[in-house]
Amino acid sequence: MKNQDYIDSLNFRYATKKFDAYKNLSTQQLEDVKEAIQLTASSYGLQPYEVFIIEDTNTREKLKEVSYGQPQITDSSQLIVFAVNTKIDENYLDNYIKNISETRNVSVESLQEMRDTIAGTTLQMDQEAKTTWAQKQAYIALGNLLSAVAFYGFDACPMEGFENEKYNEILGLKDKNLHATVIATIGYRSDEDELQHAAKVRKPKNELFTHI
């Protein structure tokens, strides 16, 4: 892919407000999106979140009611919910170290220094700090989702306008030590969405960037 192709895809992207409810992503397209999210960078590689892909009509209708009635929730191909883990503890860290050990075919013992480093930072945070840290990681994944969707040529809308606790309740997240943090809808823009024709508004580069 040429550099300009990537920039063109970012210019193509916008926060789609009206989706074509009759046009869905293919199975392969959804798998591509999932892989892009999976490959997202995160602090220490811990990925302190889980991602829910909501397709069930009844569930999406319930979630729409606690998303201020926004039509993207039900009209898009899929609703993506990023839920952060609220219980980052010794057990979570042990499972992560075990995954590294098995994936890279190295001993758990050889990873002790890494484990100690993570335990000495992340696990020492109070609950509020841990949640804030985890939410930052989820937003990195959201950014990767938006770029990937633009590259693949379909659409997305990142959304914070929803009742987090109601999402937790509807999706049964608290029982899983999870908290809904940010959502995105993906699919294809409707021809009736006038925002797609609007010029993209961003700070000029001379205001946004400082070279030192």
Domains and CATH numbers, the chain: 3-208 (3.40.109.10)
- pLDDT of 1 reads 53
Please list the pLDDT of the chain residue by residue as tens digits (212 residues). 566 899 999 999 999 999 999 999 999 999 999 999 999 999 999 999 999 999 999 999 999 999 999 999 999 999 999 999 999 999 999 999 999 999 999 999 999 999 999 999 999 999 999 999 999 999 999 999 999 999 999 999 999 999 999 999 999 999 999 999 999 999 999 999 999 999 999 999 999 999 99
In the chain, the DSSP E strands lie at: 49-54, 78-85, 155-159, 178-187
Give residue 84's pLDDT.
98
Report the candidate in 169, 166, 189, 197 with the shortest Cα–Cα distance to residue 23: 189
- Whether residue 84 contacts residue 194, with contact meaning beta carbons closer than 8 Å, is answered with no
160-168: Cβ within 8 A, 24+ apart: 161/67, 161/68, 161/70, 162/63, 162/66, 162/67, 162/68, 163/66, 163/67, 166/66, 167/63, 167/66, 167/81, 168/83
Going by C-alpha positions, the residue among 168, 185, 186 that lies closest to residue 177 is 168
CB atoms within 10 A of CB 104: 9
Contact present, 40 and 140 (Cβ < 8 Å): yes
d(CA 16, CA 13): 8
178 DSSP 8-state letter: E
Q: What region does 172 belong to: left with phi over 0, alpha with psi -120 to 50, or beta? A: left
Q: Please choose, from the candidates 44, 51, 124, the residue with its C-alpha nearest in 3D space to the C-alpha of residue 84.
A: 51
Q: Residue 176: what pLDDT? A: 97
pLDDT at 2: 62
